[in-house]
Structure 1
């Protein structure tokens, strides 16, 4: 019920706003400024419709008369509505014909607010409203809030520019609006709390209000019991009390389903009745909305769906069982598997897994559900066939549980010998493929490489998914070794195979490797364009691959960060973090690392280290080996310590972690951290130079930079060039430091590598001084940093006096390609002839 109060500057009683009301100027200002005669606010209960209309009422022009008519959703006849309207407008009681005539001649500017229009469908009442809207004077502005959209001629009003409509998604509170209610908290904490509130409540006004009133601890994933009870009580009064018992049960069932459509409702609730009940619930504004922007599938508003799923309702198991039958008949194996688990039909769930492929693991929650089933039911049920062993192993590797994965792979020996030699070889090859990935993720490169090669030599074309995984592993190993050309060749081979079999999901997975390659070559913008296109294609899939989209978002966050786009990077990192958390992906680590770097860019080191601690805590909770995260955490921590001047602490940490990657028992870096080891090495050199522990550190960094350039690793080369400038300054060679810095700065700007410049400025603020660079003259061309590995090879051949034909034969490329490379080399080095190119190459130490 709307609270009413006397209004001092206007006659009569008008609604009042709560003392805790949060103004929504982004909505009220356009509404009040609109020229439309009808302003329609259509949304479910608790969306803040009444509060927004009250806010607009208080903004009405001084020369405008306002009238407020609270209908409270009651069912009225056409005559009763005419009577209520006449009373609200201060007219004598009129019938429909008289009221229409009066409204058509309405002279003075007037705003008429109808709050909570009739909730139950009534064609006669809607037809009356339609006639009133069509015939009323332009001086009369209609404001209507409603849970259901009346059956009026809205298209005509819209085409005549006489309708302004706000829907539930528009009415939802934004993070910025919630932050304003959290003024008692520090800014960073308020932003974090607001973000979590939006994630859990969807911005639904009633949900946010309940959370604020009951002071929920948003650092805790569990909601207070008091709030849950308040929310359930709210739903009882605002939703269930206005539905028939049959409709209330239908809504409760639908709230327990991840998604549904009319056909599923027909199966669940009876032919001819299910679809009709669904349409009626939609009409009544019962929190039913499109599922993932689908034109066919629907869902109950997720925050309310989660509440209903948490409520103990024994009867729901039978509904899940029936839903499982329908999804299985439709060959939607993922949804059938999910419903079987919810119905606690574990043997049925395992039998459905025979239809799964590795692609299903990248659908939302599949890994989580599969691992939960494996843990609760044990290996006798979930490892009964080689196919099941392969699925569970892949899920364990995805989640980072390497010890369990190793135990799981060993179960394949139970299925030997096979009935034929061919089947025997295929089973062993599948074992080698999975063993190769386990070793690869554990950092054991050489045995992993051998397993990949042997598996590829035996795997048949029918098991192309396993071949793809081996090729992806080989691509990542080549990238880790700096063999960019080899990585490119293998990656293209794998992409061709994925496209030949129409696997958009694996194409997206392989494009992540491709994006890493482009990033290494200093083409961050191209990598971002590539991933944006892949993300758009994957988002159109019927089953959106949430885990893969999470990984893509994390990579796009890293690319945005490297280009200095902090706001964009923050959005990508947060989205990737959320998706990876939901799917138990071990790469959630890189979401925390990205957010930590963003906090360090703001010099908020307390928040930065908090992100790192949270990452470590999560890795340990999920039993992920420290080889996955320890090196990356220590490397990033050391960056921050160097920026803070805590050099001894950084040196100690870097020395300790480098021993892990160098020496007799060295392991490779994790696949997602291609620059981890070189960064540790040069940061350690910087720390030792600061502490005066090395007299001439420059040659070590020069060697690293030369290697990066030879391999075509442009991004790393630029970063090491900046480190070289910092080393020169630390040893007192200021003139050379300025010269090296300016060269490296221009290279960084050309490649859009703004983050490494910012990190340098944080370590050495003097480099960011305008006085530092204004006297520095660049005496050598800087384009050499852009030479690819192949261009360096061509240049070296030119320096040796080889002709184009000889170069083509040496490098196994065409003469035309040699000429193209030569032309690009001349352009990048700023020269016109071969002799000039050779002279420049010798000066730069390229040949």
Structure 2
């Protein structure tokens, strides 16, 4: 990324920056402002170390002598380094003592850049470097980049405030910086492309640059073909420099989800394992902490994905050995994964005896169980009831109802049980699982009977099954509009989950609670609730699939309140997590992003997203009862906004038959208002086509139901729809009254999306009826920030550090950082200064 040119006024070779270089002030400014004598950049290949040094070199102050030594990572002797320094600095000394004396006598500022210091371990060379850094004049600033951390007395320099140690992670490009590299695109496409590049490259500078050179359509989810340029780069920069035994060990570790020194000893030998790991770390082989832990390591994720794409015939034996070690450590999930990779399916099945229902919500567990079912489906059906229960739960989670039903049916093979107690417990398990299958298939009444019968049979030791039944009953009460019943059932379940100390079940149940609050017209309260659960789960690094569902629901709540930028972030995050874990709820990530596109009148993109959602559902063999109705409803929603009521009427009439009549199904649990929306959208379409018999009467029936059930969010939508229809049929007084009632509910509950949808259907309705909408774009009235977050933001605006805020509010530093992160997320910013400026603009804090 740099080239060499000879400088006419200074000796030696001077580098230059690439034509594609982008300055990053967040890195440059602290470096130039630091008074440290030694500035160290230790990071793997392609991290942008050289480019950063070059930019600093070009910003050297006037009168400062600059010396650039490109060492190219080559092995060298003490004499070689001494000679390079003597020649570059124009010194006369030829031995170490003379060189050290000359460096100690410098009187004018000098910046010495040692770029790509020797990569091979060399104690003698490191000793000389240590002496150079120790005795050199205070006017000399050393800039050192290396893949290997030299053996120098760094603690002494650090304690003397003479060392600036640049953390490797800070060198990575962030989303904003990548978006600037794509500024030739439209802003929205640049942002999507930046997100995709950052996701696949981790911000690694070489990976970002290669992605831009290949001109891949990184905004799409399906990037085809192996990135050969990246592989060739690694072949030259990493693989070619490793001894054969180190290269083989690196490939083995790249296929491990995580590793530590003890696993390396098991894999490579009692003594050799630690030596190999230390050698790989010293050589800068992209080994980093796993999820921020001190005990576990991993290979940089973008590289593991690349390596795992290649065939690895000898991998089975390594995975078998890893499985043995993880099993000995009682890390059952990791052992199970390694058994599957080793194709030891019988071993994998035996390990499942250690799994509980809560294991399903660990990252990738569902995917692994689905893989096992695909490989050994029939054999699994002869396993234990506990094994069949786990496989069934995974299939239901992924939306594969037919094979789930086959698994549930196999429980009858375990009858009769030896005792009446065991017989009742097995029956209760069957009733609960069959109840959930019926619930997800939309057969509410039969499902409810199964849940109630299961609960009558359950003993206290099967509390997890009781919680599953209570969650299903809560969702059914919400679907029937019985919010008080739903609240009481949900409270009972939450009390049991908390009494058992199950954070996973508590989070599942809080998702139901958030839906209840959304129905009540309290999206801000629901958001605060889910934000707290997210922080708890993320802090304990558990239940990633639940984090995906929480993100999708938070996206829905943000959309409801008119926070489109925030909603987009949640929908993208939730969608990616759901896709990774084969969660059928990925559908709602696509739907949310489609609604955001429609808000900007980008209906082409909206329908592309709906098609992507349908394609995914079909590829993953999810029954159309899960997605067909909601896809048609959302499509009709867009058609009405486009002025195409004939398409909407045809689709809505067809889909409504599915939810009406003797064989009617319930709406999917994640779309509580689906049937009501289909009905009022059908009235809108028929009114536009002048085919709406008793339109207002039909809408008033829906409104009365919503009001009687205290479903304030739905009431706001219906009032605005009544206003539209009344205006179209000439009932101006009714239209004005309904509009005022709708605007009042919108403003009281901050339901901005309902108002926006009305405007997209009838852009001039408010003007014609003489009303002014008091929109609250995440500002006044219903603030997106909690009271504590506003308090923290106020102290940030006063210039307080995180530690000072913690001391003033008597809270921990971690809590302050959590509040700051949530403030940034809610305001759609990345830095403290941006948060303060945005808050002042929105009126959240008083201008200074």
> Which TM-score band applies after superposition, normalised by the shorter structure?
0.7 to 0.9
Residues 1:368 and 1:522: Cα distance change in structure 2 (over 3 Å):
same
- SS of equivalent residue, structure 2 residue 540: coil
Q: Distance in 2 between matches of 1:556 and 1:131?
A: 56
What is the aligned partner in structure 2 of residue 599 from structure 1? 597
Residues 65, 110 of structure 2: 8 Å contact kept: yes
Aligned partner of 2:817 in structure 1 is none
Contact 1:350 1:382 survives alignment (8 Å): no
CA shift digits 1:169-204 (9 cap, x unpaired): 222233444344446655544433332222222122
Q: TM-score when scaled to structure 1?
A: 0.86
Q: Which residue of 2 aligns with 1:46?
A: 46
Aligned to 2:307: 308
The separation in 1 between residues aligned to 2:694 and 2:152, in whole angstroms, is 82
TM-score between both structures, scaled by the size of structure 2: 0.86
Deviation at 1:717, TM superposition (A): 1.9
For 1:770 and 1:109, locate their aligned partners in 2 and report how far apart those are by CA, in whole Å. 73
SS in structure 2 of the partner of residue 312 of structure 1: coil
2:777 matched residue in structure 1 = none
1:114, distance to aligned residue in structure 2 (A):
1.4
Is the contact between residue 374 and residue 382 of structure 1 (CA under 8 Å) also seen in structure 2?
Answer: no
Q: Quick one: structure 1 residues 136 and 669, their matched pair in 2 at CA, closer, same or farther if it must change by over 3 Å? A: same
- Aligned partners of 2:119, 2:201: CA distance in 1, in Å? 24
Q: Please name the residue that 1:721 is paired with.
A: 719
Q: Root-mean-square deviation (CA), in Å?
A: 2.7
Report the alpha carbon displacement of residue 99 of structure 1 after superposing the two structures with TM.
Answer: 3.5
> 1:348/1:725 Cα in 2 relative to 1: closer, same or farther (>3 Å)?
same
Number of aligned residue pairs: 774
- When structure 1 is superposed on structure 2, of 393-402 and 193-202 the one drifting more is 193-202
Instruction: Report what 2:645 is aligned to.
Output: 647
CA contact (8 A) 2:267 2:318 kept: yes
Q: Return the alpha-carbon distance in structure 1 between the equivalents of residues 338 and 662 of structure 2.
A: 51
Match among 630, 633, 637 for residue 632 of structure 1: 630
Instruction: Give me the whole-angstrom Cα distance separating, in 1, the residues matched to 2:378 and 2:437.
Output: 19
In structure 1, the residue matched to 2:688 is: 690
1:584 is paired with a residue of what secondary structure?
Answer: coil
> How many angstroms apart in 2 are the aligned matches of 1:524 and 1:342?
44
Deviations 1:120-165 (A, max 9, x none): 3445544543443344445433322111333445456556655444
How far off is 1:528 after superposition? 1.5
Q: Answer whether contact 1:2 1:70 (CA < 8 A) is retained.
A: no
Deviations 1:334-387 (A, max 9, x none): 111000011111111111112112211111222122122212223124542222
The aligned residue for residue 222 of structure 2 is 221
| Corresponding residue of 1:667 | 665
Aligned counterpart, 1:844: none
Structure 2 counterpart of 1:616: 614
Matched, 1:432 2:422: no
Structure 1 residues 320-329 or 265-274, which shifts more?
Answer: 265-274
- Indicate the residue corresponding to 1:456 in structure 2: 455
Contact 2:2–2:17 (Cα < 8 Å) also in 1 = no
- Which segments of structure 1 move beyond 6 Å, counting only runs of 4 or more? none
The reply on whether 1:762 has 2:760 as its aligned counterpart is yes
Map of 1:491 onto structure 2: 490
How far residue 444 of structure 1 moved from its aligned partner, in angstroms, is: 0.4
Question: What is the distance in 1 between the residues matched to 2:316 and 2:426?
Answer: 38
C-alpha distance in 2 between matches for 1:700 and 1:127: 87
Cα distance per residue 1:23-66 (max 9 Å; x no partner)? 44443344345444433322110112112322333344454432
> Helix, strand or coil: the match of 1:44?
coil
- Select the residue among 554, 569, 575 that pairs with 2:567: 569
Which residue number in structure 1 is paired with residue 13 of structure 2? 13
- Give the 3 Å change call, closer, same or farther, for CA 758–11 of structure 1 in structure 2: farther
1:262 equivalent in alignment to 2:261: yes
Q: Is the 8 A contact 2:4 2:13 kept in 1?
A: yes
Report the equivalent of 2:194. 194
The corresponding residue for 1:511 is 510
Shift of 1:441: 0.2
| Matching of residues 266-281 of structure 1 within 5 Å | 266-281=265-280
Q: How far apart are the structure 2 equivalents of 1:130 and 1:711?
A: 76
Quick one: structure 1 residues 481 and 10, their matched pair in 2 at CA, closer, same or farther if it must change by over 3 Å?
farther
Q: Which residue of 1 aligns with 2:346?
A: 347
Structure 1 residues 670 and 239, CA gap change in structure 2 (3 angstroms)? same
Alignment of 1:321-340 (within 5 A): 321-340=320-339
Q: Cα deviations across residues 305-344 of structure 1 (Å, max 9, x unaligned)?
A: 1222222222221111111111111111111100001111
The structure that has the greater radius of gyration is: 1
Provide closer, same or farther for how the CA distance between residues 136 and 750 of structure 1 changes in structure 2, counting only shifts above 3 A: farther
What is the SS of the residue equivalent to 1:3?
strand
Q: How many angstroms apart in 1 are the aligned matches of 2:269 and 2:440?
A: 51
Counterparts of residues 241-252 of structure 1 (less than 5 Å): 241-252=240-251
C-alpha separation between the residues in 1 aligned to 2:440 and 2:411?
A: 20
Unmatched 5+ stretches in structure 1: 777-782, 784-847
Distance of 1:754 and 1:383 partners within structure 2: 54
Is contact 1:547–1:579 with CA below 8 Å preserved after alignment? Answer: yes
2:91 aligned residue: 91
Mean Cα deviation higher: 401-410 or 185-194: 185-194
1:94-493 correspondence runs (5 A): 94-154=94-154, 157=157, 162-182=162-182, 186-216=186-216, 218=218, 219=220, 221=222, 223-225=224-226, 227-228=227-228, 230-381=229-380, 383-493=382-492
**Do the aligned partners of residues 693 and 30 (structure 1) sit closer, same or farther apart at CA in structure 2, a change above 3 Å counting?**
farther
How far is the alpha carbon of 1:739 from its aligned partner? 4.5
TM-superposed deviation, 1:15: 1.8
Q: 1:789 aligns to what? A: none
Q: Is the partner of 1:285 in helix, strand or coil?
A: coil
Could you say which residue in structure 1 is the equivalent of 2:792? none
CA drift at 1:484: 1.4
Paired residue secondary structure (2:143): strand
Relative to 1, partners in 2 of residues 1:66 and 1:702: Cα closer, same or farther, differing over 3 Å? Answer: farther
- What is the deviation of 1:684? 1.9
CA deviation string 1:402-459 (max 9, x = no partner): 1121122111222222233332222222111111001000000000000001111112
Distance in 1 separating the partners of 2:492 and 2:322: 41
Q: Once the 2 structures are TM-superposed, how far is the Cα of residue 641 of structure 1 from its aligned partner? A: 1.4
Task: Indicate the SS of the match to 1:5.
Answer: strand
Deviations 1:446-501 (A, max 9, x none): 00000001111112222222111111111111111111121121112222222232
TM superposition shift of 1:22: 4.5
Query: Counterpart in 1 of 2:846?
Result: none
- Report the Cα distance in structure 2 between the residues aligned to 1:169 and 1:769, rounded to whole angstroms: 53
> Is residue 639–residue 645 contact of structure 2 (8 Å, CA) maintained in 1?
yes
Runs of 5+ unmatched residues, structure 2:
775-780, 782-848
Match of 1:835? none
Residue range with higher mean Cα deviation, 262-271 or 474-483: 262-271
Tell me if 1:587 matches 2:588: no
| Secondary structure, aligned partner of 1:672 | coil
**Residue aligning to 1:57:** 57
* Cα distance in 2, alignment partners of residues 772 and 41 from structure 1: 64
What SS is found at the alignment partner of 1:398? helix
Alpha-carbon distance between aligned partners in 2 of 1:296 and 1:768, rounded to the nearest angstrom = 61
Judge conservation of contact 1:445–1:667 (CA < 8 Å) in 2.
yes
Structure 2 partner of 1:535: 534
Which of these residues, 742, 745, 749, is aligned with residue 744 of structure 1? 742
* CA–CA separation in structure 1 for the residues paired with 2:393 and 2:773: 58
Q: Which is further off, 203-212 or 504-513? A: 203-212
Does the aligned pair in 1 maintain the 2:381–2:407 contact within 8 Å? no
Q: 1:775 to 1:476 in 2, by over 3 A?
A: closer
Comparing 706-715 with 585-594, greater Cα deviation is found at: 706-715
Partners in 2 of 1:710 and 1:432 — Cα distance?
Answer: 33
